[in-house]
Chains A and B, each alone.
Chain A
Amino acid sequence: MKQLELDARRLLCPLPVIKTQNKVAELSSGDILKVTCTDPGALSDIPAWARIHGHKIVESIEEDDEIIITVCVGA
């Protein structure tokens, strides 16, 4: 099981989603990807994208001006 981080700060939606999507494409089921964003839109978009594709959001936190979303890659 791999654990990776992705920096999507200062990118406006849908770019954080595109980056997440492209990174997840390289991962396998059960891998964890931690995405850091600054666009609040990511708070709804990354989970929506994950639901559609069968990935799980393990955690989603807002810290100062940053949003950290942890995705667990689905089957």
Chain B
Amino acid sequence: MSSAHKAVALISGGLDSMLAVRVLQEQGIEVEGINFFTGFCVEGHTHAIRNQHKDKQKRNNALWVAEQLGIKLHIIDVIEEYKDVLLNPKHGYGANMNPCLDCKIFMVKKAVEWVKENHMQGFDFIITGEVIGQRPKSQLKRTMPIVAAESGAEDLLLRPLCAKNLQPTKPEREGWVDRNKLYDFHGRNRKPQIALAKQFGFDDFATPAGGCCFLTDESYSSKLVDLWTARNSREYELDDIMLLKVGRHIRPKADFKMIIARDAGESKFLEGYRKQFTSLYSTSHNGPMAIIDGDIEQQDFPLAASIVARFGQGRHADEVEVEITVPDNPPRHIQACPMKVEQVPQEWYV
């Protein structure tokens, strides 16, 4: 088989794209990987902000996969461009705020652009680890051609794991790739993938349950929608969406929300935001750092202080001293009476 043709692979960090690459490598095809950072990606270390996850996976799965495969990986920042995908998905959302089909189309489209830019180096087709029927909305037999057409990849988009269930693509027709050595995986059953992984000697791989990003997460999605509703605008910045991954989010009033650290790791992380946000923490007792997103009136300082006190070691004390700092202002100290657990209504929790 000639290896004059090279492929670029969409690498998510999961098992499927890893297998798709190896299937082509077995045919002598040179592959490089591309990975997109939307701001919503699930990263090992974003979890590692929390103490309890400290020992877990600190690696970036996409980089790790690339290293196992021995391929180069290009990580591309698409935070800005992705906003339009999330805010105006032509094909709508999945179970939560995940615009999976539009997201796939967008990523393949970006890969098409990459192939055009790198055509001189011999890159001429794109592969993904998609499997028909694997995901309820975005990976169906019906949606596969939609991704190929709307991304502009047309028949230069090859899915090695389920190619035999689809029309032959150009790489197959032209004999760049041997179709007989591709697969016909389908459905939600992951056994064939696990067996193939075993055959290739892959034994340590990430298997994200819901999907590759936080938008498939129900609690994350509801925080995102709450943010948009409270601001009366769906615009967002990277900091906004990062902060949705951290802390307890409590909205005692429509105009402001408190983000309260759940442990020392998160407190430290939130400290980095004190120049941008009003922040508060107890000075008389150990307790979490909290920041305020939105507009808080001075008259609500005691309320915020009594909430933050409820989550610290002074929760049973009669009074707790809380320091509140508005950016560019000197800190002020107030004595707060910690709220009782039952005084924090469930509906305040975002």
Contact = CB atoms under 8 A, between A and B. Distances in A.
B46 interface: yes
A61 interface: no
A62 to B, nearest CB: 14
Contacts of B77: 15, 18
A17 B75 contact: yes
Given A10-B272, A13-B43, A41 B76 contact: no
A41 B59 CA distance: 7
Nearest to A45: B60
B333 interface: no
Given A39-B45, A40-B45, A53-B72, A13 B60 contact: yes
Given A41-B58, A48-B60, A13 B45 contact: yes
Interface residues of A, number: 20
Interface stretch (B63-71, B95-103, B278-286, B296-304): B63-71
Contacts of A48: 59-60, 63-64, 67
Main secondary structure of the interface of B (DSSP, over half): mixed
Interface string A1-15: 000000000101111
Contacts of A21: 74-75
Interface string B49-90: 000000000111011101100011111110000000000000
Main secondary structure of the interface of A (DSSP, over half): helix
Contact of B63 (A10, A12, A52): A52
Contact of B73 (A39, A40, A52): A52
Contacts of A39: 45
A44 B75 contact: no
B46 A12 contact: yes
A50 to B, nearest CB: 10
Given A10-B272, A52-B66, A41 B44 contact: yes
B242 interface: yes
A45 B37 contact: no
B60 A52 contact: no
A40 B37 contact: no
Interface of A: 10, 12-15, 17-18, 21, 38-41, 43-45, 48-49, 51-53
Interface of B: 35, 37, 41, 43-46, 48, 58-60, 62-64, 66-67, 71-77, 242, 272
